[in-house]
Structure 1
Amino acid sequence: MSDLEELTQALARNLRRWRGERGFTLDALAARAGVSRGMIIQIEQARTNPSVGTTVKLADALGVSITTLLDRDRSPQVQVVLPGQGVRMWSTEGGSGATMLLGDDRRGPLEVWTYLLEPGEGTDSDPHPSGTLEMLHVTAGTLTLLVDGGEYTVPAGGAVSFEGNVPHTYRNDGTEPMAMTMAVSIPPVTGP
């Protein structure tokens, strides 16, 4: 079985599990996530590989991390992610991309990501649930961060945190690749 097939199977199994644990019907989860009922059925039956945006919406609606939804074999005590073993969530032909390194949902979802944005590239993020906090550390280049209409410049070595419940965009307006590490803390979901 390929890595993609394993991830598709893990997502199907974990989505069914978390939807059941939260007591959400297909219709309730569809309404909370803004994802069609048919798409959720396709995902739960491992018949489709959803976009990153759809996966994020489902994770947010369930109050779990993306790592939890994609987890193939969770180790409860120590989780070591070796170089190259993170989950590649998106990439561009130009070389930009994001990889989720770690995630946990024991105290509300918490995720750790790496991002690489090549010059002239960027990515938009939909608002997350109220109470979501993002913390970024730029390790190379310069990040242009747009948060709810405001624009912020963060050079290599700098860090920024913000409430993620508003539209936000990560951009590289510079001439060198921009690399950053990001932690996202999402409040836990309680009941339907």
Structure 2
Amino acid sequence: MDIEAVIAQRLKTLRTERGWSLDELAQHSGVSRAMISRIERQEASPTAGLLSKLADALAVTLSGLMSGPQAPRHQVSRRDAQPQWRDPQTGYLRRLVSPAGGEHDTDIVAIDLPAGAKVRYDAHTAPYEQQVLLLQGRLRLTVGGEALELNPGDCTRMPLDADHIFENPGQGTAHYLVVVRKAHSPHHPPGVPR
């Protein structure tokens, strides 16, 4: 199954599991009902920012929209089988490195951001944080209005509770890893109901 079909099916499954209509998901995400319907019918290719809004409303990571239901406990993620998705607006390429399947506390994602590209994400309401490790190229992150310049080998940690922008000011593609982790309240450790 191609990645657009996986995203479409996963979006519809997550929406219906919550008992939400298209209108309810539109209200929670700020994405129009018409666009959500077009994504679910594979008539539109969503941008990274739009997918991020949908994922946040559904309380999953972007990787949670790119992979199917729960996978076996022990699984190897082979490079040639890792799901990839390309943002139609910027050419940004996102590859899910972690074994696909289900919603986990941590996901590893490899990103290729073309020269001059800029991807903007709204603040998330779901409790996630991420670490970004630049492998090659240049990367400028703007988090809540504060700009951070990364060089190869640099790593930063950032909560996702503020608007953030990934920008490649360099001449070549920026290659980086993102580790997304569900943040847990110190008063509510993993696995303990709230």
TM-score, length of structure 2 as denominator length: 0.75
Q: Tell me what 2:21 maps to.
A: 25
The structure 2 residue matched to 1:44, chosen from 33, 36, 40, is 40
> Is the alpha carbon distance of 1:164 and 1:22 closer, same or farther for their aligned partners in structure 2, counting shifts above 3 Å?
same
Q: Tell me what 1:131 maps to.
A: 127
The structure 1 residue matched to 2:150, chosen from 150, 154, 167, is 154
Q: Percent identity, aligned pairs only? A: 25
Structure 1 residue ranges without an equivalent (≥5): none
How far the C-alpha of 1:34 sits from its partner, in A, is 1.0
How far the C-alpha of 1:137 sits from its partner, in A, is 1.0
Question: Could you tell me whether the CA contact under 8 Å between 1:7 and 1:72 is conserved in 2?
Answer: no
Q: Which has the higher contact order (CA 8 A, sep 6+)?
A: 1
* Correspondences of 1:1-192 after superposition (within 5 Å): 6-72=2-68, 74-90=70-86, 97-102=93-98, 104-107=102-105, 110-129=106-125, 131-186=127-182
TM-score, length of structure 1 as denominator length: 0.75
Structure 2 residue ranges without an equivalent (≥5): 185-194
Question: Could you tell me whether the CA contact under 8 Å between 1:63 and 1:187 is conserved in 2?
Answer: no
> Is the alpha carbon distance of 1:126 and 1:84 closer, same or farther for their aligned partners in structure 2, counting shifts above 3 Å?
farther
> Is the alpha carbon distance of 1:130 and 1:106 closer, same or farther for their aligned partners in structure 2, counting shifts above 3 Å?
closer
> Is the alpha carbon distance of 1:39 and 1:96 closer, same or farther for their aligned partners in structure 2, counting shifts above 3 Å?
closer
Partner of 2:73: helix, strand, or coil? coil
